[in-house]
Structures are given as C-alpha cells and as structure tokens.
Structure 1
Amino acid sequence: MTVSSATGSVSVPAAIAALPGPFQQHELATVNDTVVRVARLAGEFPWHRHDEDELFLCWDGTFRVELADRAPVILRPGELFVVPRGIRHRPVADEVAHVLLIERPETAQYGN
C-alpha cells in the first residue's frame, strides 16, 4: 500500500511487520519526485552503485553502510546518511534492522 499526503496515513511498524524477508522493500509513500521505502536488513547486501543519491534512515536496530575506499558509516535508530551518487556501497546488518529509504521511484535496488 502506498499513500500520498492526500489519501491518508501509513503505519511504518505495520509495514515492517508485513515485510516478507530480508532486503525486500515496500513502498510507503510518494513525496514530490521521490518515494519512501522500508526494508528489513539482515546480513550483507551485494555491493552496488546508483546514478542518484540514496538516503538511509535507521528505523530500528543498528547497521552499517560500507563504502568503497571509505570508512563504513554506522547508523543507529534516528540517524540518517546519504550515499552520494556513483559511490559503491552496501548495507550490512549483523542483526536484524529496519531502514527507511528515500530515493527516486526509478532507483534500482541492486544499482545501475
């Protein structure tokens, strides 16, 4: 279920509970030219890059965003980080964590 500001609200905890498994995204809302997605992180996601920036907002748990040729960024609940376009990266969660992603609708999960 996706909502816009005109159609109502969405429960992030309910959307998280409905996620089918690790790294499966669910689109929550469309905002201007972006979408808000939620995903469960568990383990290592493959290395990839995007042609656009990607925002990670830690909802719960703790995870890190590993970056090519840079120190990893550790995110805890309420913290966010923007991966600049073109940077190879991957999220890694040693234990289950949940993330909100803000990106363009055409952003491919596994990169360009």
Structure 2
Amino acid sequence: MPANHAKTHRATARFRIDKFAAPTPAVDEFVAQMKHLQTTLQAQPGCTHAAVLTDLGGPGRFNVLTWVEWQDQASVDAAAAVMQKQFASSGFDPKAFMQRLGVDGDLGVYAAV
C-alpha cells in the first residue's frame, strides 16, 4: 500500500471489535454462528478483513473475539443495515441467541489513534 494511501486508510478505517464471554458448553455453537456472520460481513463493500478468534488461556474473562476492519464509517453503517435486514428476514435475533447460550458481550467500533 503506498504511504499516502496507508495514512488515509488509517485515518478513516473503523474496527468493529466484539468480545464475548461464552460458557464452555456454548463455545462451539457460538463460534460457528460468529463464523457464519463474518462470512456475510466479508462480502460487504468496504470490509477489508474479518476474523473470529478464541482465547488460548489467560486471566481475561472474554474467550471469543470477533474483529472486522472497515474502510470507513459509511461502510460500517451500510453493513449494519444489511445485517439488520438479514436478521429480520431469517428470524435470527442476536440478543436472544446470546441469552439462550448464556453469552455476555462487550461490543464496539474503534478508530486507530
């Protein structure tokens, strides 16, 4: 990536980072659903990278992390609208899904500093 493009990208890029505390019996089902959602997000315009990560150990309470890098805030907003429509048409309720599995989340959109 040329230096000027890298600086512009860093200034406008947005990172959706969601951390989850999933009970051990729920991890496999939860991770499978997160991978499915990440596949949809990766197909959206402006998505430059997406991943689902699991904790290998340590003192933290979060054991699953999802990470999506977007070109800019407009890409985040457009993808959010697409996901809401997809959830409505498929009948998937993310909050109910997390409650059923006993998953607690900390969700946020971040910018590079």
TM-score (norm 1): 0.33
> Greater share of helix residues, 1 or 2?
2
> Greater share of strand residues, 1 or 2?
1
TM-score (norm 2): 0.32
Q: Choose 1 or 2 for highest CA Rg.
A: 2
Larger relative contact order (Cα-Cα within 8 Å, sequence gap ≥ 6): 2
